[in-house]
Amino acid sequence: MADGERRLAAIMFTDIVGYTSLTQGNEALAMQVLEEHRKVVRPFLPKHDGKEVKTMGDAFLIEFASALEAIRCAFEIQQSLREMDSGRPPERRIQLRIGIHVGDVIHSQNDVYGDAVNLASRIEPLAEPGGICVSEQVYYQVKNKFELPMESLGKRTLKNIAEPVEVFRVVPPWEETAGARELDQRRIAVLPFANFSPDPNDGYFADGITEEIISTVAGISGLSVISRTSVMGYKGTTKKVDEIGRELKVGSVLEGSFRKAGNRIRVTAQLIDVAGDRHVWAQNYDRNLDDVFAVQSDVARQVSEALRVRILSPEDRRITKKPTENTAAYTMYLKGRSYWSQRAAQNMVDNITKALECFKESVKEDPSFALGYVGQADCYHKLCEFNMEVEANLKRSEAQVDMALELDPDLAEAHATKATILTSRRDYPSAEEEFKKAIELKPGYASAHHWYYLMLHDQMRWDEELEQIQKAAELDPLSPIICYLIGHYYQDRRDYPRALEQFKRAVELGGSSTRWAVASTYGELKLFDEMKREYAAVVEAGRPFNPDIGVLVEAEMAYYMGDKEKVRRLLPEVEAQYGRIYGTSALGIASMYFFLGEDDKGFEWLDRCLSNINSSLSAADMQNEVELDRLRDDPRYISLLKKLGQPAQHADA
């Protein structure tokens, strides 16, 4: 091929994981590893018409005429290294990262140049040790021809590459096999109990039984129990248990059914080992309705025995303790929880109000029923988010949770709710004590970890908050809100590609409102075509409830595209929508004023935001706000940050 000639080619980069460290620690061994690596790689190249362009230390640059041959060659190399490494000591193992891209290259003096080479070299570090990553161009060329599955890692911003690139990873067969083999039996999902009652309106009771068994089994020391949010999506599913187990990454699944006829109930339950696809234990219970707590306790004990883990210590008595002796109170509580679980639906305020009435009825039936007071506290606190009698509802929430704790000082749910109220009051030290108490009492309570994250996020305690939200995701892996919050964490760290990845997953999980975050993150990344597409979807979904939502969306798009005149023209209408249109925030309006250089107006809106007890404004939000970067030394900025209990620092500190 003549020098300077351009042609389409697939470019592969390989790199040995940890080679630099090995060289510094044992140069002789590093040279042996390097030579072995080259002996493994080179024989595969002629088989796939690959041309070794050059080596650069421990890296190969290889050219292929076909993307399909490049990816097949990469897989065979990784497979061969995996087989060779089995039984070897760790220091002698050779793990490669491989990156592949297809595009135009230019040949010159036995070397190749061009964007295809640059992209392949940037993609390679994204691969896991022993893994293969490819660009979207490679993916679309081979997706119906290559034998192994590939999964998207989302769009990534790569060094010296103008536009973000969607990257895919090859899922090797040993990863799928190992995943099934390594499923931990002590990680368990309690699937929604099927309702076989003659009256379909008793469905809330079956759901309530599911929720209470989850809560009871979560009291077993040594088990990790998937939260209600993630399992309720399998209600009525036709998926097989092994498929559900893989999706939730659990080794054990508890499933069953509930039937109520008059005052009699029949509960069936069976525990299934996912990896072995076998029943570990099964039991039928025919009882009176008022014996439902004994059924829940017995199911927990049977699970404990089957998985050979222990019930919490006798002095705790959480598993055997009945929350109420009154069946009517418990029934109303389950109805309340059924409405509460629908609080994210379009008629959210209506469902919260219905839940509140049910919880009130439950404590009328049994004034000593602590969980009924916790339910009320949750509802009152949630109503504050809708600007409904904010201070009055916050005080009602405090009174209800204090009553619950007076009745049951060891109720984890009450301590977690108390902590969220204290967070709203910005009493962070007291809130943290309550969160730690709740998690100590019930480590598997996903909401406690989720809400604790929010408090830590307010204080920009980055490592601690990430640990808490990741624990919440482990317990509730299919929760859209938890996935959204992980994205929000990365957004506040200004890692927009990773934030976008999480926001898109939240939408896939059913968090439709997260599309707004997807759209704005595309705006941050200057991907304007994608931004416009997502904002159009936001408007289409929101217009039936907020006919004027288009004004806010137009203003946001103009902001991201740098159109100051359009922002200035639309801003008065946006201000008029504050408190009325979902998505219109004081911080957002302030940001637009800072964007326009009208700093006095911007600080007025930040003050307005801070003075509202229902405001979600946090120090992290202020530190992340790009428009405030030039104002970090402004006395007004420093004063606001102090009011939020934080010294001045940057989001990437």
CA distance 507 to 480: 7
Question: In terms of domains, do 114 and 24 share one?
Answer: yes
User: How far from each other are the two terminal CA atoms of the chain, in whole angstroms?
Assistant: 51
Confidence at residue 235, expressed as pLDDT on a 0 to 100 scale: 84
Between the ranges 124-133, 209-218, 393-402, 507-516, where is the mean pLDDT highest?
393-402
Answer yes or no: is pLDDT of 177 > 50. no
Question: In terms of domains, do 196 and 171 share one?
Answer: no
- What confidence tens digit (pLDDT) does each residue in 320-332 have? 567 888 888 988 9
* 447 belongs to a structural domain: no
* CA angle at 342 for the pair 341 and 343, rounded to the nearest 5°: 95
- What confidence tens digit (pLDDT) does each residue in 144-163 have? 788 888 888 777 777 777 77
Q: Which of 290, 322, 354 is the last residue of a domain?
A: 322
* 359 belongs to a structural domain: no
Answer yes or no: is pLDDT of 318 > 60. no
Hey, what's the torsion of the CAs at 627, 549, 571, 589, to 10 degrees?
Answer: -40
State the residue for tokens 């939020």.
Answer: 644
Answer yes or no: is pLDDT of 316 > 50. no
pLDDT level of residue 102 (50, 70, 90 thresholds): very high
* 554 belongs to a structural domain: no
Q: How many residues does the chain have?
A: 653
Question: In terms of domains, do 59 and 89 share one?
Answer: yes
Confidence at residue 651, expressed as pLDDT on a 0 to 100 scale: 43
Q: What CATH number is given to the structural domain containing 151?
A: 3.30.70.1230
The mean pLDDT value of the chain amounts to: 84
Distance of CA 152 to the CA centre of its chain: 16
Question: In terms of domains, do 108 and 231 share one?
Answer: no
CA distance 429 to 440: 17
Confidence at residue 180, expressed as pLDDT on a 0 to 100 scale: 44
Confidence at residue 90, expressed as pLDDT on a 0 to 100 scale: 67
Hey, what's the torsion of the CAs at 192, 197, 203, 209, to 10 degrees?
Answer: -50
pTM of the model: 0.68
Confidence at residue 372, expressed as pLDDT on a 0 to 100 scale: 95
Question: In terms of domains, do 69 and 129 share one?
Answer: yes
Domain residues for the domain of 172 are 6-179
260 beta partners: 265
Question: In terms of domains, do 273 and 193 share one?
Answer: yes
Question: In terms of domains, do 14 and 134 share one?
Answer: yes
CA distance 607 to 22: 55
Question: In terms of domains, do 42 and 148 share one?
Answer: yes
Answer yes or no: is pLDDT of 564 > 60. yes
- What confidence tens digit (pLDDT) does each residue in 278-301 have? 888 888 888 887 777 777 777 777
Answer yes or no: is pLDDT of 474 > 60. yes
pLDDT level of residue 317 (50, 70, 90 thresholds): very low
Q: What CATH number is given to the structural domain containing 211?
A: 3.40.50.10070
- What confidence tens digit (pLDDT) does each residue in 495-526 have? 888 888 889 888 888 777 788 999 999 999 88
- What confidence tens digit (pLDDT) does each residue in 353-363 have? 999 999 999 99
> For residues 191 and 253, is the Cβ–Cβ distance under 8 A?
yes
Question: In terms of domains, do 12 and 151 share one?
Answer: yes
Question: In terms of domains, do 294 and 309 share one?
Answer: yes
Q: Are strands 59-64 and 6-16 parallel, antiparallel or unpaired?
A: antiparallel
* 130 belongs to a structural domain: yes
Q: Which one is predicted more confidently, 297 or 605?
A: 605
Q: How many domains does the chain have?
A: 2
Q: Are strands 220-221 and 6-16 parallel, antiparallel or unpaired?
A: unpaired
Question: In terms of domains, do 136 and 33 share one?
Answer: yes
Nearest CA to 487 among 472, 469, 500, 471? 500
